[in-house]
Amino acid sequence: MGMFDYGGGGFHCVHVTDQDLDVFRRHRMYVITNPGSNTKLASGIAPIADYVRHKIPVAIGTDGPASNNCLDMFREMFLVTGLSKLARTVDVYARRPQIQERLTVQIADALERVLAPKGIMVMLEAEHTCMTMRGIKKPGSKTVTTVTRGEFKENMELQKQFLAMVKD
């Protein structure tokens, strides 16, 4: 029928088979995932890693203000990446003896490599035992390091939005 001859996209794409992935790849189709909507409907989580592995482009969508009076793309991006995956990424690099600045860069490198975003900002806040247990002995002393790249490096407004979100 030629239905997919001109590309196109699939919305939500939570439950897909290997055959579906093959159709998307062969016809150069996009996946548009709507994590906020999928969460509300309890329909599941789109297998983003499978799409990336099959070289299928992924876009993040939202049902928009008409359906829930809240258009928050940062929330949608957070739901896509998944908190547990971020925590695992941090754990992998944090096990190594190193300095916090390098750890922040390594986390940004890993997220950039896997997600290929237009921009990335990583902020790491840590309590250092050298300051709490010996030397100055100041419990609760924390150091913050950040890495910005792409859109986040160039756009101060995006940085402000990010910092406002993590401040709470």
Three-state secondary structure call for residue 56: coil
- Identity of the highest mean pLDDT range in 11-15, 63-67, 75-79: 11-15
Q: Which helix (H) or strand (E) holds 160?
A: helix 156-167
- 79, pLDDT greater than 80: no
Asked whether the beta carbons of 95 and 87 are under 8 A apart, the reply is no
Cα–Cα nearest to 105, from 86, 85, 95, 90 = 90
75 band by pLDDT with thresholds 50, 70 and 90: low
The pTM of this model reads 0.51
Q: Is 56 exposed, middle or buried (0-12, 13-18, 19+ CB in 10 A)?
A: buried
C-alpha 90: how far from chain center:
13
Asked whether the beta carbons of 116 and 53 are under 8 A apart, the reply is no
What is residue 41's predicted lDDT score, i.e. its pLDDT?
A: 65
Least confident of 100-104, 119-123, 130-134: 130-134
H helical segments located in 43-138: 48-53, 65-68, 73-81, 83-94, 100-115, 129-132
